[in-house]
Structure 1
Amino acid sequence: MEYLSIVTKIVLVMSLGWYLITNLQWYNYKLGRVIFKHHKWQWHITFFLSPIVLFYLIPSPYFEIYFFVIYLVSFILWNKKLDRQLVLTSRVKRFLAILLLIVFVQISVCLDDSFCTDVSLFFTILVALILSNSLEKLFFLIYKNRAKNKLALNQNLKIVAITASYGKTSIKNFLYHVLKNRFKTYKTPRSVNTIAGLVLDVNKDLPSDTQIYIAEAGARVKGDIKTIANFLEPQIAIIGSVGEQHIEYFKSLENIKNTKKELLLSSKLQKAFVHNSASATLNEKIEEFPNNLHIVKSDLSGLWFDMELNGQIEHFYAPILGSFNAINLAAVVLTANYLGMSVLEINEAFTTLPQVEHRLQKIEANGKIIIDDSFNGNLEGMLEAVNICSSYIGRKVIITPGLVESTDSANILLAKQIDKVFDFVIITGSLNANILKANIDEEKVFVLKDKTMLETTLARTTRNGDLILFANDAPNFI
């Protein structure tokens, strides 16, 4: 029985550590966000607090029965159902290894003293977290210094840093497609936009002969973008549309604007193109955009727009969905032109622009038209997606969790527009379910609580000829 108790304690602590590091990975390793900003706080009670409390309340062997039969089984099933499971990065492996080592040491020291074991057992998680964070900070400083030196060695390198409340990934991808025809260009992969991600990208993947490095800069708190600006020291900065995205972290729109404008603090800044929503102070280096932007046409075939460039009105077309993308493309035009590309070269590149995955990406499959806008989580973009779909003649279906990290009023506005356009509405998750249901005809609405059933639900509720819009997506921890 003693051996069973020891094994139980080891597996229990490692399970709690696994739960903790999973949540930390979701929330960029910010413990405060895991504790105070978690969207499914009930999970903390079920998978972290309850087993600790019951460990002291239920005597052996009844606790072991509870742990292995009830808790561990439910914990494994919970992990399997997650659509964003723990990624075993080097950081995660180091944390788990440190935790396991401390558990063994602690149990060995307290082998003949069960009271010592029981009292100090759960402190091992805290100690492991402190040691792990200290080690990661040390590694980060080493990696950051190495990355800084690598950037300095390439004297011909120009860095373009992009930030915005929304649209920065689209700007990055569009700009890369245009510039790669003229320059040796590299862009950050996926949505890498934190200082840690950028340091890793520079060290691991940035080719040494790159001429143009295009990087995103994201933020959750004041100072995040300033840190990135000090690290990259971009010569060119782009600040796209600024709005109330992540308002719960910044508390006010003014705080969001000021944080985005930290990108202008780069010591090597030569030129910045700043959207008028950022309210920047203009000078010879900082230019506001767009100038005389006119959207000629936007439908399921693409986007036509005019804009002023060098005192003249120029015409552009791109096979990209969404009128809001005219703003993103305007930033691309200005940057490419500043780097020496002509309007003709830019237009030629635009005609072959690939659709951005999961951002108003049009797909035709099995007799249905699918508009994948699952990576778009801002109000303006989602309303535009709804508007584009409104021109489709046929049955229209939308799958959405609503707006995440936004206001109730924004979700109400979105719901009312959805109600006008769509024939069937599938609401994923419980975060905004009540708000959306209250503002959409209840006969159209189906609430999908388990996202693993989405494919089955679509097969049952959609048919040939339907247009299906995936509007935003949220992992099931939200």
Structure 2
Amino acid sequence: MEYLSIVTKIVLVISLGWYLITNLQWYNYKLARVIFKHHKWQWHLTFFISPIVLFFLIPSPYFDIYFFVLYFVSFILWNRRLDRSLVLTSRVKRFLTILLITLFVQISLCLNDDFCARVTLFLTIFIALIISNIIEKIFFLILKSRAKRKLLENKDLKIVAITASYGKTSIKNFLYHVLKNNFKTYKTPRSVNTIVGLVLDVNRDLPKDTQIYIAEAGARVKGDIKTIANFLEPQIAVIGSVGEQHIEYFKTLENIKNTKKELLLSPRLQKAFVHSSANTVLSEKIEEFPNNLHIVKSNLAGLWFDMELNGKVEHFYAPILGSFNAINLASVVLVATHLGMSVLEINEAMATLPQVEHRLQKIEANGKIIIDDSFNGNLEGMLEAINISSTYIGRKVIITPGLVESTDSANIILAKQINKVFDFVIITGTLNANILKANINEEKVFVLKDKTMLETTLARTTKSGDLILFANDAPNFI
């Protein structure tokens, strides 16, 4: 029985550590966000707090039976159902290694003292977390210094940093495509936009002969973008549309605007293009956009728009869905022009723009038209996706969790537009289910709590000729 108890303790602590590091990875390794901003607090209760409490209340071997029969089985099943499971990065492996070492030290020191073994067991998790954080900070400072040196060694490198409440990844991808045939251009992968991600990207993947480095700058708290601006020191800054995205972190729209404008603090700033929604004080270096932007047409075939450049109205086309993308493309035109490209060169590049994955991406499969807008999580963009879908003649289906990290009023506006356009509505998750259901005709709505059943649900409820819009997506921990 004693050996069973030791095994139980080891597996229990590893399970709790696994749960903790999984949540930290989701929330960018910010413990405060895991504790105070988590949307599924019941998971904390079930998989972290309850086993610790029951460990002290239930004696062995009854606790061992509870742990392996009930807790451990449910914990494994929970992990399998996650759509964003733990990625075993170097940081995660270091934490788990430190946890194991700390645990075996604790077991060795308390081998003949049951009171010590029980009381200090869970301290190993927090000790491992503290040691891990110290090691990661040391590693990060070393890597940051190395990355900074690499950036400064390339004297010809121009850095374009982009921030916005929404659209920054699209701007980055559009700009890369427009510039790549004229310059040796590199962009950050996927949605890398934190200081840690940028430091790793510069060290690992930025080619030494790059002429233009395009990087995103994201934020969850005041000062995040200032830190990125001081690290990258971009010569060109783009601040796109600013809105209430992540309002739960910043509390007010003014705080969001001020945080985005931290990008203008770059010590080497030469030119900045700032969307009018940021309310920036203009200067010789800082130019507001869009200037006399006119959307000519936007449909399932693409986007046509006009804008003023150097006092002359120029015409542009891109095979991209969504009229709001005219704003993103306007910033691309301005940056490319600033770097010396002609309107003809820009137009030729824009005409071949590939669709951005998961952002109003049009796909045709099995006789169905699929609009994948699952990476778009702002109200303006989602309303535009609904508007484009409304032009389709045929049955229309939408799959959405609603707006995440936004306001109830925004979700009400979204729900009412969905109700006007769509014939069938699949609401994924429970976060906004009640508020969406309250504003959509009941006979249209199906709430899908388990996203693993989405494919089966779509096969059962959709048919050839349907238009299916994936509007936003949220991992099941939200």
Could you state the TM-score of these two structures normalised by the residue count of structure 1? 1.00
Aligned to 1:243: 243
Alignment of 1:185-196 (within 5 A): 185-196=185-196
Tell me how far 1:116 sits from its aligned partner.
0.3
Tell me how far 1:165 sits from its aligned partner.
0.0
Tell me how far 1:182 sits from its aligned partner.
0.1
Which amino acid counterpart does residue 309 of structure 1 have in structure 2? L
Tell me how far 1:433 sits from its aligned partner.
0.2
Aligned to 1:422: 422
Question: Aligned residues: percent identity?
Answer: 86
Aligned partners of 2:181 and 2:206: how far apart in 1?
Answer: 18
Which amino acid counterpart does residue 196 of structure 2 have in structure 1? A
SS at match of 1:139: helix
Aligned to 2:49: 49
Aligned to 2:438: 438
Alignment of 1:214-363 (within 5 A): 214-363=214-363
Aligned to 2:24: 24
Aligned to 2:62: 62
Tell me how far 1:423 sits from its aligned partner.
0.2
Aligned to 2:161: 161
What do the CA deviations read for 1:305-331 (whole angstroms, capped 9, x no partner)? 000011110000000000000000000
Aligned partners of 1:32 and 1:397: how far apart in 2?
Answer: 38
Tell me how far 1:333 sits from its aligned partner.
0.1
SS at match of 1:473: coil
Which amino acid counterpart does residue 451 of structure 1 have in structure 2? K
SS at match of 1:353: coil
What do the CA deviations read for 1:271-319 (whole angstroms, capped 9, x no partner)? 0000000001100000000000000000000000000011110000000
Alignment of 1:356-395 (within 5 A): 356-395=356-395
Tell me how far 1:58 sits from its aligned partner.
0.5
Aligned to 1:8: 8
SS at match of 1:190: coil
Which amino acid counterpart does residue 387 of structure 1 have in structure 2? N
What do the CA deviations read for 1:358-395 (whole angstroms, capped 9, x no partner)? 00000000000000000000000000000000000000
Aligned partners of 2:335 and 2:153: how far apart in 1?
Answer: 24
Aligned partners of 1:342 and 1:368: how far apart in 2?
Answer: 40
Aligned partners of 2:460 and 2:14: how far apart in 1?
Answer: 41
Aligned partners of 1:80 and 1:459: how far apart in 2?
Answer: 23
Root mean square deviation of aligned Cα: 0.3
SS at match of 1:210: coil
Aligned partners of 1:107 and 1:181: how far apart in 2?
Answer: 61
Tell me how far 1:428 sits from its aligned partner.
0.2
Aligned partners of 1:220 and 1:422: how far apart in 2?
Answer: 33
| 1:140 equivalenced with 2:140 (yes/no) | yes
Tell me how far 1:46 sits from its aligned partner.
0.1
Aligned partners of 1:122 and 1:456: how far apart in 2?
Answer: 42
Aligned partners of 2:54 and 2:320: how far apart in 1?
Answer: 56
Which amino acid counterpart does residue 163 of structure 1 have in structure 2? T
Q: Which runs of 5+ in 1 are unaligned?
A: none
Aligned to 2:131: 131
Aligned partners of 2:455 and 2:119: how far apart in 1?
Answer: 47
Aligned to 2:469: 469
SS at match of 1:77: helix
Tell me how far 1:126 sits from its aligned partner.
0.7
Aligned to 2:110: 110
What do the CA deviations read for 1:128-179 (whole angstroms, capped 9, x no partner)? 0000000000000000000000001100000000000000000000000000
Aligned partners of 2:326 and 2:359: how far apart in 1?
Answer: 14
Aligned partners of 1:203 and 1:409: how far apart in 2?
Answer: 43
Aligned to 1:75: 75
**4+ aligned runs moved over 3 Å, structure 1:** none
Aligned partners of 2:283 and 2:157: how far apart in 1?
Answer: 25
What do the CA deviations read for 1:27-55 (whole angstroms, capped 9, x no partner)? 00000000000000000000000000000
Aligned partners of 2:437 and 2:370: how far apart in 1?
Answer: 23
Aligned partners of 2:414 and 2:309: how far apart in 1?
Answer: 34
Alignment of 1:189-208 (within 5 A): 189-208=189-208
Could you state the TM-score of these two structures normalised by the residue count of structure 2? 1.00
Aligned to 1:87: 87
Aligned partners of 1:161 and 1:360: how far apart in 2?
Answer: 23
Aligned to 1:213: 213
Aligned length: 478
Which amino acid counterpart does residue 108 of structure 2 have in structure 1? S
Alignment of 1:403-422 (within 5 A): 403-422=403-422
SS at match of 2:249: helix
Aligned partners of 1:101 and 1:73: how far apart in 2?
Answer: 25
Aligned partners of 1:87 and 1:435: how far apart in 2?
Answer: 33
Aligned partners of 2:364 and 2:319: how far apart in 1?
Answer: 15
SS at match of 1:83: coil
What do the CA deviations read for 1:241-289 (whole angstroms, capped 9, x no partner)? 0000000000000000000000000000000000000001100000000
Which amino acid counterpart does residue 465 of structure 1 have in structure 2? G
Q: Which runs of 5+ in 2 are unaligned?
A: none
Aligned to 1:35: 35
SS at match of 1:371: strand
Which amino acid counterpart does residue 464 of structure 1 have in structure 2? S
Aligned partners of 2:220 and 2:310: how far apart in 1?
Answer: 36
